[in-house]
Amino acid sequence: MTSIIEFPWQQEGTIIHSQRILNSFQHWLGYSLLDVSGSPLAVAQALFEAAFVLASHGTQANPILNYGNRKALEQWEMSWQQFTSTPSSKTAEAVVQEERNRLLADATTQGFSYFSGVRITSTGKRFYIEDGILWNLLDEQHQYCGQAAVCSKCEFI
């Protein structure tokens, strides 16, 4: 296994994206997602190893997941490579897509949104997310560049 797959937080793009995730969360919610300091590499590693589930997607018409920390990869039962090539719509069952789409739209207009709901792993296992937060990602020029979601309570159902 290469270090890119095993340690994705070491990639330059992932280090930059980790900063966007943390800075955007602070911008929209007014507090820090993760109490961490150090070099950008150390911060990216801490975010990847955090005790909560964290995922993000880009801005494509059917957005592709572009980040998942270790807890997210475990929760959705995927490798980094699988996760970052999966449309984010595949994380929810078809019956909840309308609700999910409304949540994404709400966050787009308000900057962030709180949510709970059922999601599905790559192997078809269903789990319930409680007290999730979805927020818009902003790049270094404060331009919209995707969305991220975090939750600390996930229970298989």
What domains lie within the chain, and their CATH numbers?
3-156 (3.30.450.20)
Q: Is residue 5's pLDDT more than 70?
A: no
Does residue 1 carry a pLDDT above 70? no
pLDDT band at residue 14, thresholds of 50, 70 and 90?
very high
- Name the DSSP letter for residue 31: S
β-pairing verdict for 112-120 and 126-138: antiparallel
The length of the chain in residues reads 157
What pLDDT, on the 0 to 100 scale, is given for residue 2? 44
CB within 8 Å of 58: residues ≥ 6 apart: 64, 66, 145, 146
For residue 100, what pLDDT band results from cuts at 50, 70 and 90?
confident
On the CB side of 123, CA atoms within 13 Å amount to: 9
94 has a pLDDT exceeding 90: no
Residue 108: its pLDDT value, please?
A: 83
